[in-house]
């Protein structure tokens, strides 16, 4: 049992049970609240963004407080924003960075456009509806506890910006519809801008991610077929370091391919989802409507896989897909809105199991329209889905309940989700379940020779449903630095204990006689050693105050090869030992960040 691989155990152990009751994010104020976005920051805070259309159009935000969402507040005090979707990502410090369109100025005299000719101006960002309006692009960033904004562009930027931030440098990329083409904006202290593509009838609905160290952009573009009928295609381009490559085709047919969304999986693979409108004709060849299907593709081996349908093909209308990745299995999950058998719009979900997609699951089930879903996992493993209800009313959210228990943490392979302290290991356990099941566990620790050196079977940890707790091993009898195996014995209420998860790590213990250091005066990351490294790497860092810590390792392309999240570490000096035996030789960078501090060091792995 102790030799079983933890990742496989987790894959079999995590079960989604049901969905929590629907949660209202926005207040019932009569405004039209639309197109939500969701992101979870490094503090584990779930944040929702949307735009609301009342006397003017504004972008709003709210955060989850544990039992309800905070009252909505303005993202930025600029009225008359453009009624369009927008982009959200995490910046280099792990906090939200938002790109959004605005209608703020009069091209004729430069004044702020709130009211023109005693009427509220058009909000749909089409220049012909208000030829004097100047459509801009804004960026808003959470800097610690303060939101700050700057103008990215103020010249005819109209649709659906998407944003990506490099994790170490903070270099920011935004793409959006500009003059019926895909424009890009790059921030390296100042903004520079150019176009991704050469243009066509119209290009928009772009989506950007960082593939390694360089942006990859996908977008939708109109074209005209041989029958002079408008159809659509999905294209992409990649940044070479100095320019974007010529656009390349992902899919093109007689249908309308809409709203592509691209995300990077934990293993570095770009995944793409979009919806396709299939045109319907009557017996005389007259167009009578359309229905939708959800498609996906993966970018592997230098090309996109053949587009395949994700959901069950039918005559209903499925659209607006959003993709995210399960943090334990790392498999993609897609949510979308679609019509049920009664022609009511509902939210659906499907999960990739490594070779196929699961049968679609209906998340909502009522007679009101549910649109524009976005999905994200929070820090405790719950899947959140936010969406607009009634198409022009309010924002709602739901999160998935989890059944049974899972061990969440430690640093060294094979456990990619583990935490340890400087000398005393800590393991975070979680019980994600319904309201009736408690979870009990105790641990036995073995040394490298399989001798039992610790057992706490008289100190059973009791976890209530939907809670976490931390086990700290203060009195285990180890002999200095070495490799140890932790085996958890678990039981649901009333059941016998049985071996569950096996975790391996390298660790120190306090009995080694190493004197604990005093509280450091400042944040510091020491040079990794040995450098070059062949089998393992020691990393030391200092925290001047209690903080959450994120450690990331990047290869020379900027791809994250390892990520360690340590929550609520006390002030002090900390040590990490990274196993590098399975890492390819080359140049790497390790970044340690806490609150607003961040430092990076370079090291080399040799084989």
The CATH number for 600's domain is 2.60.40.2550
Picking from 70, 55, 54, 61, the residue whose alpha carbon sits closest to that of residue 36 is 61
Residue at 551 is within a domain: yes
Task: Phi first, then psi: give them for residue 8, nearest 5 degrees.
Answer: -70, -35
d(C-alpha 525, C-alpha 523), whole Å = 7
Predicted pLDDT of residue 346: 93
- Where does 446-581 have alpha helices with state H? none
Q: Report CA-CA distances (Å) from 285 to 253, 276, 281, 288.
A: 18, 20, 5, 9
Where a domain ends, among 403, 431, 463? 403
DSSP string, 12-26: HH-EEEEEPPPEE-S
Q: Report CA-CA distances (Å) from 392 to 33, 388, 395.
A: 6, 7, 9
Q: Report CA-CA distances (Å) from 166 to 188, 205, 212, 323, 413.
A: 10, 22, 9, 20, 26
Picking from 402, 403, 400, 425, the residue whose alpha carbon sits closest to that of residue 415 is 425
Place of tokens 């008359």: 80
d(C-alpha 365, C-alpha 508), whole Å = 52
d(C-alpha 174, C-alpha 188), whole Å = 12
Picking from 45, 13, 36, the residue whose alpha carbon sits closest to that of residue 380 is 45
178: β partners: 157, 181
If asked whether residues 480 and 592 sit together in one domain, one would say no
d(C-alpha 231, C-alpha 561), whole Å = 40
d(C-alpha 24, C-alpha 175), whole Å = 31
Residue at 10 is within a domain: no
Tell me which residue range forms the domain holding 394: 17-403
Task: Phi first, then psi: give them for residue 479, nearest 5 degrees.
Answer: -115, 70
Cβ 164 vs Cβ 173: under 8 Å: yes
If asked whether residues 74 and 131 sit together in one domain, one would say yes
Residue at 518 is within a domain: no
Q: Kindly report the number of other CB atoms within 10 A of residue 415's CB atom.
A: 23
If asked whether residues 461 and 550 sit together in one domain, one would say no
d(C-alpha 103, C-alpha 193), whole Å = 19
If asked whether residues 231 and 103 sit together in one domain, one would say yes
Q: Kindly report the number of other CB atoms within 10 A of residue 505's CB atom.
A: 23
CATH of the domain at 218: 2.120.10.10
If asked whether residues 384 and 457 sit together in one domain, one would say no
Structure tokens of 566?
């340590």
Total number of domains constituting the chain:
3
Residue at 11 is within a domain: no
Predicted pLDDT of residue 455: 65
Residue at 2 is within a domain: no
| Burial profile 90-115: b = 16 or more Cβ within 10 angstroms, e = fewer | bbbbbbbbbbbbbbbbbbeeeeebee
Cβ 61 vs Cβ 73: under 8 Å: yes
Predicted pLDDT of residue 356: 92
Residue at 381 is within a domain: yes
If asked whether residues 172 and 123 sit together in one domain, one would say yes
Structure tokens of 285?
């060849």
**What share of residues in the chain are helix, strand, coil (percent, to 5)?**
0, 55, 40
If asked whether residues 465 and 593 sit together in one domain, one would say no
In the chain, the N- to C-terminal Cα span, in Å, equals 32
Predicted pLDDT of residue 216: 95
Predicted pLDDT of residue 510: 40
pTM reported for the whole predicted model: 0.67
Chain centroid to Cα 64, Å, comes to 16
Cβ 17 vs Cβ 401: under 8 Å: yes
d(C-alpha 208, C-alpha 165), whole Å = 10
Average pLDDT per 10 consecutive residues for the chain, totaling 607 residues: 24 53 88 90 88 79 92 73 80 88 55 37 37 70 82 75 89 90 92 88 88 90 66 89 91 78 90 84 58 90 91 82 85 92 90 90 89 87 90 86 43 27 53 56 69 61 64 55 66 58 53 47 82 79 83 84 72 77 85 85 86
If asked whether residues 295 and 334 sit together in one domain, one would say yes
d(C-alpha 254, C-alpha 515), whole Å = 72
Residue at 7 is within a domain: no
Cβ 400 vs Cβ 382: under 8 Å: yes
Region for 284 from its dihedrals, namely left if φ exceeds 0, alpha if ψ lies in -120 to 50, beta otherwise: alpha
Predicted pLDDT of residue 391: 64
Predicted pLDDT of residue 408: 34
If asked whether residues 381 and 422 sit together in one domain, one would say no
If asked whether residues 291 and 340 sit together in one domain, one would say yes
Q: What angle do CA 276, 277, 280 make, to 5 degrees?
A: 145
Picking from 163, 139, 158, 161, the residue whose alpha carbon sits closest to that of residue 149 is 139
**Strand ranges of the sheet holding 157-165, from the earlier edge strand across to the other edge:** 157-165, 172-178, 181-187, 191-195
If asked whether residues 284 and 429 sit together in one domain, one would say no
d(C-alpha 593, C-alpha 550), whole Å = 5
Where a domain ends, among 403, 436, 452? 403
Structure tokens of 224?
């005209």
Picking from 516, 557, 522, 558, the residue whose alpha carbon sits closest to that of residue 543 is 522
Predicted pLDDT of residue 501: 55
Predicted pLDDT of residue 528: 83
Picking from 353, 373, 352, 349, the residue whose alpha carbon sits closest to that of residue 362 is 349
3-state SS class at 129: helix
Q: Report CA-CA distances (Å) from 496 to 376, 441, 499.
A: 35, 11, 10
Q: What angle do CA 596, 597, 598 make, to 5 degrees?
A: 120
Cβ 381 vs Cβ 432: under 8 Å: yes
Where a domain ends, among 403, 434, 453? 403
Residue at 76 is within a domain: yes
If asked whether residues 198 and 347 sit together in one domain, one would say yes
Burial class (CB in 10 A: 0-12, 13-18, 19+), 281: exposed
Place of tokens 């450091």: 520
């Amino acid at each position: 049992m102790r030799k079983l691989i933890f990742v496989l155990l987790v894959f079999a152990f995590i079960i989604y049970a049901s969905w929590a009751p629907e949660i209202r994010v926005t207040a019932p104020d009569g405004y039209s609240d639309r197109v939500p976005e969701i992101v979870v920051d490094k503090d584990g805070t779930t944040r929702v963004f949307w735009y609301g259309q009342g006397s003017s159009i504004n972008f709003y935000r709210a955060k989850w407080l544990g039992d309800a969402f905070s009252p909505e507040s303005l993202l930025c005090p600029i009225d008359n924003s453009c009624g369009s979707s927008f982009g959200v990502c995490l910046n280099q410090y792990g906090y939200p960075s938002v790109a959004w369109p605005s209608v703020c100025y009069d091209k004729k005299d430069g004044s702020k456009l709130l009211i023109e000719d005693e009427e509220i101006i058009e909000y749909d960002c089409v220049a012909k509806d208000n030829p004097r309006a100047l459509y801009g692009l804004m960026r808003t960033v959470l800097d610690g506890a303060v939101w700050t904004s700057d103008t990215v562009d103020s010249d005819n930027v109209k649709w659906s910006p998407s944003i990506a931030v490099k994790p170490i440098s903070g270099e920011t990329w935004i793409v959006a519809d500009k003059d019926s083409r895909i424009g890009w904006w790059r921030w390296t202290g100042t903004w520079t801008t150019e176009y991704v593509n050469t243009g066509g009838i119209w290009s928009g609905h772009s989506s950007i991610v960082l593939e390694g160290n360089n942006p990859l952009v996908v977008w939708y573009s109109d074209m005209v077929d041989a029958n002079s009928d408008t159809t659509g295609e999905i294209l992409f381009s990649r940044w070479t370091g100095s320019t974007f490559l010529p656009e390349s085709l992902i899919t093109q047919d007689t249908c309308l391919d809409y709203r592509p969304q691209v995300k990077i999986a934990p293993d570095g693979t770009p995944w793409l989802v979009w919806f396709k409108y299939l045109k319907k004709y009557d017996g005389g060849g007259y167009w009578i409507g359309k229905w939708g299907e959800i498609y996906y593709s993966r970018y592997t081996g230098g090309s996109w896989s053949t587009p395949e349908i994700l959901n069950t093909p039918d005559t209903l209308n499925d659209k607006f897909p959003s993709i995210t990745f399960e943090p334990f299995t790392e498999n993609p999950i897609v949510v979308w809105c679609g019509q049920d058998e009664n022609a009511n719009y509902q939210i659906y979900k499907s999960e990739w199991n490594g070779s196929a997609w699961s049968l679609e699951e209906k998340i909502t089930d009522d007679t009101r329209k549910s649109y524009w879903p976005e999905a994200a996992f929070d820090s405790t493993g719950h899947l959140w889905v936010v969406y607009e209800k009634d198409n022009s009313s309010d924002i709602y959210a739901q999160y998935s309940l989890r059944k049974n228990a899972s061990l969440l943490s430690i640093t060294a392979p094979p456990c990619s989700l583990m935490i340890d302290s400087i000398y005393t290991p800590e393991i975070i356990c979680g019980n994600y379940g319904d309201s009736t099941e408690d979870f009990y566990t105790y641990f036995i620790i073995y040394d490298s020779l399989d001798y039992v050196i610790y057992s706490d079977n008289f100190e059973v940890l009791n976890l209530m449903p939907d809670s976490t707790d931390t086990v700290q091993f203060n009195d285990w009898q180890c002999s200095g630095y070495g490799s140890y195996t932790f085996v958890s014995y678990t039981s649901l209420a009333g059941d016998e204990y049985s071996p569950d998860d096996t975790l391996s790590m390298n660790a120190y213990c306090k009995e080694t006689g190493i004197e604990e250091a005093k509280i450091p005066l400042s944040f510091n990351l020491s040079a990794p050693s040995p450098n070059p490294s062949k089998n393992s790497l020691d990393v030391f860092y200092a925290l001047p105050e209690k903080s959450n810590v994120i450690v990331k390792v990047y290869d020379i392309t900027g791809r994250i090869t390892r990520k360690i999240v340590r929550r609520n570490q006390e002030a002090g000096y900390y040590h990490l030992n990274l196993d590098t035996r399975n890492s390819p030789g080359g140049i790497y960078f390790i970044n340690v960040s806490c609150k607003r501090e961040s430092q990076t060091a370079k090291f080399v792995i040799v084989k």
